[in-house]
Structure 1
Amino acid sequence: MKASRSISARALGPEGARDITRSLPEEVPVAITCNGTTQAVMMTSPADLEDFAIGFAMTEGFARLDQIERVEVMELAQGIEARLWIAEEAANALGARRRAMMGPVGCGLCGIDSLEQALRDLPPVTGRLALSLSEAAGAGDALRAHQPLHDLTHAVHAAGFFIPGQGIVMVREDVGRHNALDKLIGAALRAEIDPACGAVVITSRVSVEMVQKTVMFGSPILIAVSAPTAQALRSAEAAGLSVAAFGREGRLQVFTHPHRIQEDRSHVA
């Protein structure tokens, strides 16, 4: 299944009417199963689904990469199943984080069964990564050059991984911002990239689940082109994650743990 589809439409405007064709993103229900049991159903772009399954399993606490024995992606009449086969100890521990959800593209917390799961405790972020102001402020603009599905459809989010001295080294796109991040994390884990060596860069706002997933991944810096929520910043502050937002055109606002963004003194009034 392709990530986009050409759709006919009728364009209307002051200059008149005409028939057009637009490329629009696909979204499809993707069921993530562990050892044959469905854990989540998400509306997702049908691309990079092995990355998505691995990243989702890791950030949601289902299984670590070394506990995942194999992944199968199966197209069915009703949608797609991303089948994870995980080690017995991970399967036995999965009950505490069981989800049964249909997640719309704008929400990453639908279907959890307790308030405690919504604001779960996070492990501390210990990475010593530091970025210069120019690197951090330019990361969002750099990500913009790596979004082919967005360029085609103008309707998807992206998540990228930025390494100092190398720039954006990996990007994943999806109709859902949290799905794009899970895909990025899964791809980075499979490529054996050290999460502590770089920053996560996203095209969306910083909500609680974006903080949770970045912390579970182990990256110490999260950079966004849009705004954070207040609760996301409380979670980031407690976990030790540096959150910078409104990153565009050489400007940046750092909200938590600013020591990881090294200011250029010539730009400080």
Structure 2
Amino acid sequence: MSGERLEVVRVLHADGARSTAERAVACETPVAIEVDGLGYAVMMMTPHDLEAFATGFMLTERLADGVADILAIEPFETPAGWIVRVFLAPSCAGRIRDRVRHRTSDTSCGLCGIASLEQVQRPVRQAPPRPSVAAAALFAARAALRSHQLLNARTGAVHAAAACDRAGTIVAAYEDVGRHNALDKLIGARAIAGAADAFMLVTSRISFEMVDKALVARAPLLCGISAPTTLAIDHARAHGLTLVALARADTMLVASDPHDAFG
């Protein structure tokens, strides 16, 4: 399910010689999310760990406040892709109806702008806790991350999101062709486990959405191996999230340090 082997043609630069070979290719398929019988989103993603993904997606979309609000998750495969049916507690039912009604009442042109503005203005319910981790732990997790990217080792085409303890040991990692999906899988799985981790590490650039998801998960610190965007830094600073980017073997960039953890 995570990938398949396909025949490709390899071309050499030196003399243009060609040969056939097999290569592992990451699986990407549409996954439709239905909430209480209403279509909400179609994600292009790697179709494994779908229950963890759906849990994280419900939380980061603010459709549910906690795991207890998610009554059931039913993934099933169809010829066109996957469908994941999610059923929420009655106390959350109004959110999906309002969201779907809003989406269907606007033109496609206006929807993009309105949806983006709504996302920027979504409230953050609680500030993240102060991180209790030394820089050495971040370097340790960064060094160990590759050994947890099993699908990427075979395909070279997927992102990873990992949960780490105070020593920098990676305690859980999830992969997906989409960076947001990988983080939602991690957030969902850790919420189901009731775990409180020292920090999260992602292989992608750090955008506004990645920071927003980390804030919903109340991660003390988000670390990425690629660069942050301006809006990501602004969002982290505005809501008290410690943000570290461009994590390399010998250096990293502290973009937001509200608790002076690295002072």
TM-score if structure 1 supplies the norm length? Answer: 0.88
CA distance in 2: counterparts of 1:255 and 1:206, whole angstroms: 11
Q: CA deviation at 1:76?
A: 1.0
Q: 1:139 to 1:111 in 2, by over 3 A?
A: farther
Q: CA deviation at 1:248?
A: 1.6
Q: CA deviation at 1:123?
A: 3.0
Query: Does the alignment pair 1:26 with 2:27?
Result: yes
CA distance in 1: counterparts of 2:27 and 2:103, whole angstroms: 23
Greater shift after overlay, 23-32 or 113-122? 113-122
Q: CA deviation at 1:118?
A: 2.9
Q: How does 1:63-212 map to 2 (within 5 A)?
A: 63=64, 64-98=66-100, 113-120=114-121, 121-165=123-167, 167-194=169-196, 197-212=197-212
Alignment check: 8 A CA contact 1:140 1:202 kept: no
Report runs of 4+ in structure 1 exceeding 6 Å deviation: none
Alignment check: 8 A CA contact 2:140 2:168 kept: no
Q: CA deviation at 1:166?
A: 6.0
RMSD of Structure 2 on Structure 1 (CA): 2.0
Q: 1:166 to 1:232 in 2, by over 3 A?
A: closer
Q: Could you tell me which residue of structure 1 aligns to residue 231 of structure 2? A: 231
Q: Could you tell me which residue of structure 2 aligns to residue 257 of structure 1? A: 257
- Provide the identity percentage: 34
CA distance in 2: counterparts of 1:260 and 1:71, whole angstroms: 40
Letter in 2 for 1:39: Y
CA distance in 1: counterparts of 2:144 and 2:127, whole angstroms: 25
Q: 1:228 to 1:199 in 2, by over 3 A?
A: same
Alignment check: 8 A CA contact 1:156 1:176 kept: yes
Q: Could you tell me which residue of structure 2 aligns to residue 9 of structure 1? A: 8
Deviations 1:1-34 (A, max 9, x none): x110101011111252211000010111101111
CA distance in 1: counterparts of 2:50 and 2:212, whole angstroms: 20
Q: CA deviation at 1:113?
A: 3.8
Letter in 2 for 1:76: T
Q: 1:93 to 1:80 in 2, by over 3 A?
A: same
SS at match of 1:114: helix
Letter in 1 for 2:218: G
CA distance in 1: counterparts of 2:124 and 2:113, whole angstroms: 17
CA distance in 2: counterparts of 1:180 and 1:221, whole angstroms: 17
Letter in 1 for 2:3: S
Alignment check: 8 A CA contact 1:139 1:162 kept: yes
Any stretches of 5+ residues in structure 2 without a counterpart? Answer: 105-110
CA distance in 1: counterparts of 2:260 and 2:220, whole angstroms: 8
CA distance in 2: counterparts of 1:75 and 1:100, whole angstroms: 26
Any stretches of 5+ residues in structure 1 without a counterpart? Answer: 102-109, 264-269
CA distance in 2: counterparts of 1:123 and 1:135, whole angstroms: 28
TM-score if structure 2 supplies the norm length? Answer: 0.90
Q: Could you tell me which residue of structure 2 aligns to residue 40 of structure 1? A: 41
Q: CA deviation at 1:258?
A: 5.5
Deviations 1:168-215 (A, max 9, x none): 100000000000000001111111112xx4211000000010001000
Alignment check: 8 A CA contact 1:161 1:169 kept: yes
Greater shift after overlay, 33-42 or 146-155? 33-42
Q: CA deviation at 1:117?
A: 1.5
Alignment check: 8 A CA contact 2:35 2:96 kept: no
Aligned residues: 252
CA distance in 1: counterparts of 2:46 and 2:246, whole angstroms: 26
Alignment check: 8 A CA contact 1:5 1:23 kept: yes
